[in-house]
Amino acid sequence: MNESKYISRTTNGSPLDPATGLSGRRITRFSPPPFAHIPVMVESVTEVFSTVPSGFILDATIGGGGHSCEILKSRDDLNVIGIDQDPEALAATESKLAGFANRVSLIHGRFDDLSAVTEQTGEQGLSGFLFDLGVSSYQLDNPVRGFSFRNDGPLDMRMNPDAQTTAGNYVNDSTEQDLASLLYNYGDEKYSKRIARAIVSMRPILSTQELASIIRDAIPARSKRSPGHPARRSFQALRIAVNCEIEILESSIREAIRLLKVGGRGVVLSYHSGEDKVIKRILRQLAGLDIKNSKYHPEVRHEEKISLLARKAQRASSDEILRNPRASSALLRKFEKVSDF
């Protein structure tokens, strides 16, 4: 197989230029390639921030800037600090938000490093933050990024093209047991052992469609009649592993909440049960809801740091799902900070 056809020139040959006033952080300064992403539940996200104090909103996974654009349009007293590890996403965001240039700062990095945010806000703190987890429509639809089982491409799946580990490393170098655990824990794949065994027997595997075919052939025929592609859960699991999405999530959310000013609000959009489980646990604990009662032990109660704006996760409307099927798995959790810690 000629792997050269999969070479992706993600920055069009242009480097990232130093960002003004961001202490060595860098933002995109090159012409963006075509980039399209439909933001999920954008009206609900904007409504959450309609009453927060003036100041900075952190968009920790800014993507193509869809949510941030609507937030900036909704209030002229809010500024956006946007983080993304994908330079193509930052290029698209810079173009989309050009009309708000004096109210936007873009940071090339991963959302678990919020040091640049504190440099930007100082002691003022954040008025709000948004984490829109998962993968963008553009990343899924671009074959050279290797996220999709529908289009042939390299086994890549890196959101940051400069990262060292690719999906190919996991597929071709992991032990059968480790691979099965990865598929089960990150993809909720009940046939993880069968799939891992099939993958190991067919290595080396170089392309997304080659991998998708192996997964499809490995699972029982009755499961192929279920909605969705048989490889979707395995591809999700590999993407989460490649980008360390679950590992960095808890510390990042906790730090973002710490940076919120009292009265500030947070929104998290997740698309995977493992992600939502982490988010729900953190928020319940900080809201003082993780109470454990027993006749043998005294009641355990934590001081309330946040107030949940809804006890259950919000889902996209049926109309939105018809317009954007990728919204079907979205879970939105929202809250307000009520005391410092």
Q: Where are the domains of the chain?
A: 3-134+247-337, 151-242
| Rounded Cα gap, residues 301 and 292, in angstroms | 8
Q: pLDDT grade, residue 296 (50/70/90)?
A: low
**What pLDDT does 91 receive?**
92
In DSSP terms, 79 is beta-bridged to: 56
3-state DSSP call for residue 223?
Answer: helix
Q: Is the pLDDT of residue 23 over 90?
A: no
The count of other CB atoms within 10 Å of the CB of residue 12 is 12
**What pLDDT does 341 receive?**
81
Q: Is the pLDDT of residue 16 over 50?
A: no
pTM beyond 0.85, yes or no: no
Please state the separation of Cα 23 from the chain's center in Å: 25
Q: pLDDT grade, residue 226 (50/70/90)?
A: confident
Which H or E run contains 89? helix 87-96
Mean predicted confidence (pLDDT) in 303-313 = 94
The residue among 140 and 216 whose pLDDT is bigger is: 216
Taking only the tens place, the pLDDT of each residue in 76-129 is 999 999 999 999 889 999 999 999 999 999 999 999 989 889 888 887 899 999
Q: Is the pLDDT of residue 277 over 70?
A: yes
**Pairing label, strands 26-27, 17-18:** antiparallel
Across 129-138, 160-169, 273-282, 297-306, least confident range: 297-306
**What pLDDT does 221 receive?**
85
Taking only the tens place, the pLDDT of each residue in 129-155 is 999 997 877 788 788 999 989 889 999
Q: Which CATH class, in words, describes the domain spanning 3-134+247-337? A: alpha beta
Mean predicted confidence (pLDDT) in 31-57 = 84
Please state the separation of Cα 238 from the chain's center in Å: 14
**What pLDDT does 103 receive?**
97
Q: pLDDT grade, residue 305 (50/70/90)?
A: very high
Mean predicted confidence (pLDDT) in 307-317 = 96
**What pLDDT does 222 receive?**
81
Taking only the tens place, the pLDDT of each residue in 194-207 is 999 999 999 999 99
Mean predicted confidence (pLDDT) in 280-299 = 77
| Rounded Cα gap, residues 183 and 177, in angstroms | 10
Mean predicted confidence (pLDDT) in 163-177 = 97
Percent of the chain predicted with pLDDT > 90:
69
**How far lies 228's CA from each of 128, 191, 232, 261, 318, in Å?**
35, 15, 7, 42, 18
In DSSP terms, 107 is beta-bridged to: 83
Mean predicted confidence (pLDDT) in 317-328 = 92
Question: What are the tokens at 26?
Answer: 């860098």
Selected from 1.10.150.170, 1.50.10.20, 3.40.30.10, 3.90.850.10, the CATH number assigned to the domain covering 151-242 reads: 1.10.150.170
Note whether 82 and 107 are within 8 A (CB).
yes
Which H or E run contains 267? strand 260-270
| Rounded Cα gap, residues 207 and 187, in angstroms | 20
| Rounded Cα gap, residues 138 and 107, in angstroms | 19
Q: Do domains 3-134+247-337 and 151-242 have the same CATH topology?
A: no
Q: Is the pLDDT of residue 180 over 60?
A: yes
Note whether 107 and 19 are within 8 A (CB).
yes
Which H or E run contains 93? helix 87-96
Q: pLDDT grade, residue 11 (50/70/90)?
A: very low
The count of other CB atoms within 10 Å of the CB of residue 83 is 25
Nearest Cα neighbor of 329 from 252, 236, 239 is 236
**What pLDDT does 119 receive?**
87
